[in-house]
Amino acid sequence: MQYDFIVKFENYDCEMDCVLESLRLDEKLPDRTKINPDHSLPEISAITQTYFSMLNLTDVESLYKIYKNDFIMFNYSFDFQGKQFPESEIF
């Protein structure tokens, strides 16, 4: 699969500005800061905690297997119930 853009949620505002500018859509779309001027989105860690609180270790391991390539590509890591993802791999 080929991608033109990959935007990380952690840097969404900044990266979307670049995407819109490169597509020449920055002047055609409404200013996002005027739509939500106080940027009142919950912190990413709070969102993550909410979703992870609904899962057990088996669920998380299954999801990690599905999205392992994303974790590697985007250098994501997390701890769940004392287990580190991704696990250290010996090469």
At 39 the pLDDT is 59
At 36 the pLDDT is 58
Output the pTM of the full model: 0.55
Indicate the burial class of 87 (C-beta count within 10 angstroms; 0-12, 13-18, 19 or more): exposed
CB 51 within 8 A of CB 44: no
| 24 vs 22: CA distance, rounded Å | 5
Least confident window among 19-23, 37-41, 54-58, 59-63: 37-41
Q: Give tens-digit pLDDT for 26-58.
A: 777 766 656 555 656 667 677 778 888 899 999
